[in-house]
Structure 1
Amino acid sequence: MRIAIIGAGSWGTAVAGLCAARADQVVMWAHDPSIARSITERHRNPRYLVEYELSGRISAEHDLVRSLRGAEAVIFATPSAYLRERAREAAGHVARNAPVLCLSKGIEPESGKLMTEVVAEELGCAERIAALSGPNHAEEVCRGGLSAAVCAATEGQVAEWFRDLLISLTFRVYLSDDPVGVEMCGAVKNVIAIVCGIACGSGYGDNTLAMIMTRGLAEISRLVYARGGDPLTCMGLAGMGDLVATCTSPHSRNRGFGLACASGTALSTYERRTHMVVEGAAAALSVAQLAREIGVDAPITFALESIIYGNASIREALEVLMDRLPTEEFYGVGKERGIPCEKRSV
């Protein structure tokens, strides 16, 4: 069995290691030819997870078409901003019956589409596409640390196929038929994690972080519900599980950016220094746009949008949040959905 993984970042590299336990050959696509050479010749990614020794079954290509040749399944592990471009380049080179897994997390600007929807538009056969999400820092997964994820697809057999490919004694994979909920959780939790990092870097304590996380979960639930997903998904691995890990872990690039932002570091500077894309920064814009279009109150997202892309200072954005009058704890999910924004709480 040959698996193609489009993307050679930290998560793509860790998932390649999971795949190699069952696949005969795993071929990664790397944008940087030097990374592709190192993976193939030295069995190490020279930029991400540099201490992780890759299986001899794993190789890499700089040519996207060559990486896809003969693949029985395809896994997309690119930053969300580049997913459509890569999927479009791959179209025509992916077998029509090949299952496809999307690891990218985010919401496409302007269109408001989730990542599996973007892939489906470019590749076709939407029913063969699944999403994987959960509290999975690549640094721990590659070391064999006990972890769990949820694989979601509208067709149960597709989710089961990828579960059987990736599952191990230390990497547990649960199934879901709610890709909308799973993907919305994966996109919005990065926004909440940045705000947690900002709060921590600004000197706020554990009570504040707990408040942001739980009110953030309520915000995610409203968005999931309005988008047609199941709010119960927010209580699982893709929701609460991933939120906790991303908001509290030193491995989290989103929380890390929030900490840096609190000390005055610009987004471009942080990404250049870490060689990583801060998905939550892009999501702050696309999630805010989607929330306005579908009429969902998303105050934490709006606050982060104003900090990164507006003229608001961190102090001003936090003051706007704190000035809101608390009312019902849960609104916007089910019968409370129609409460006017001015009566809602953060």
Structure 2
Amino acid sequence: MNITVIGAGSWGTAISGVAAARADRVCVWSFDEDSTKGINERHVNPLYLSDYTLPGNVSASSSYEEALRGADGIIVVVPSPFLRATIKGAAPYILHDVPVLCLTKGIEEGSGKLMSEVVAEEIGNPGRVAALSGPNHAEEICKGSLSAAVIAAEDHDVAEFFRSLLISPEFRIYVTSDMIGIETCAAVKNVIAIVCGVAAGAGYGDNTLALIMTRGLAEISRIVHARGGDPMTCMGLAGMGDLVATCTSPHSRNRSFGVAFAHGESLEDYQRRTHMVVEGAAAARSTAQLARSLGVDAPITFALESSLYQGVELEEALRTLLDRIPTEEFYGLDL
């Protein structure tokens, strides 16, 4: 079985190693020559997880045609701002019936589409597209640390294909049909994680972080419900599980950026310094757009959007949140 992984960042590198345990061959597509050379010559990605040695059956290519030749399954792991352009370039080399698993987390700005919807729009045959999410830091996955995820797909056979490929005693995988739920959770929790980082960087304590996380979960639930997903998904691995991990872990680039932002570092400087895309920063704007279009109250998202993109001072954005008068805890769900 041949598997292609599109994207050679931290998560792409880690999932390549996981897939290699069951696949005969894994080829990683990367636009970066250093990553391609490092993986092919030393089985190491010098830019991401550089202390992790990939299995011998993992190779890399910067050519879509070469990377996708003979693929029995495709895993997409590129930053959300670049997903559509990347898949558009790969689409001519993706056969119509090959199953595709999307690991990218985000909501497309302007269209409000989830990442699996973007992929399906570019390659056709949407029934063969699945999505995976959960509390999974690449730094721990590549070390074999006990982790879990959930795969969602309209077609159960597609979900089972990728579940069988990736499951192991160390990587537990559950299956659901709620693609809207798990992908919305995956995108919006990154926004909440940045705000948790901002609060931590500004000196707020554990009580405040717990407040942001739980009210953030309620915010995510309202958006999931309005989008047509199941709010119960927010209680699972893709919701609460991923929210806890992303809001509290030092591995989380979203939380780390929030801390840096509170200390005065700009988004551009942070991404330049870390060579990583802060998914939650892009999601703050696209989620705010989606929430407004759905008529959903999303105060945490709106506060971050105003601070990142509308010139509102960070302290003023936080004060706007604190000045809100509490109402019913679970409003906006109509369940």
TM-score by length of structure 2 reads 0.99
Kindly provide the CA deviation profile for residues 125-157 of structure 1, in whole angstroms up to 9, marking residues without a partner as x.
101000000000000000000000000011111
Q: Give the structure 2 partner of residue 280 of structure 1.
A: 280
Give distance in 1, aligned partners of 2:201 and 2:332.
Answer: 30
Q: Give the match's secondary structure for 1:5.
A: strand
- Please tell me the residue identity of whatever aligns with 1:55: P
| Code of the aligned partner of 1:132 | L
Is 1:97 the counterpart of 2:97 in the alignment?
yes
SS in 2 for 1:101: strand
- The match for 2:29 is 29
> Which runs of structure 2 are paired with 1:75-94 in the superposition (5 Å)?
75-94=75-94
Asked if the contact 1:72–1:95 (Cα under 8 Å) also holds between the matched residues in 2, the reply is no
Distance 2:88 2:61 in 1: 18
Task: Please say if 1:307 is aligned against 2:304.
Answer: no
Q: Point out where structure 2 has 5 or more consecutive residues left out of the alignment.
A: none
Distance in 2 between residues matched to 1:201 and 1:310, nearest whole Å: 21
Q: Which runs of 4+ in 1 moved over 4 A?
A: none
Paired residue type of 2:314 = I
Instruction: Name the structure 2 match of 1:264.
Output: 264
Contact 2:44 2:51 in 1 (8 A): yes
Residue 197 of structure 2 corresponds to residue 201 of structure 1: no
- The residue that corresponds to 2:218 in the other structure is 218
**Deviations 1:255-277 (CA, angstroms, capped at 9, x unpaired):** 00000000000000000100000
Any idea what SS the aligned residue of 2:49 has?
coil
How many residue pairs end up in the alignment? 335
Q: CA RMSD in A?
A: 0.6
| SS of match in other structure, 2:31 | coil
- Aligned-pair distance for 1:62? 1.0
Correspondence for 1:128: 128
Q: Is the 2:34–2:47 Cα contact (8 Å) retained in structure 1?
A: no
CA distance in 2 between counterparts of 1:222 and 1:302 reads 14
The structural deviation recorded for 1:92 is 2.3
1:133-212, aligned counterparts within 5 Å? 133-212=133-212
Aligned to 2:114: 114
Mapped partners of 2:301, 2:60: distance in 1: 37
Return the alpha-carbon distance in structure 2 between the equivalents of residues 54 and 322 of structure 1.
47
Which whole-Å deviations, capped at 9, do the CAs of 1:212-239 have from their partners, x for residues lacking one? 0000000000000000000000000000
Structure 1 letter corresponding to 2:43:
H
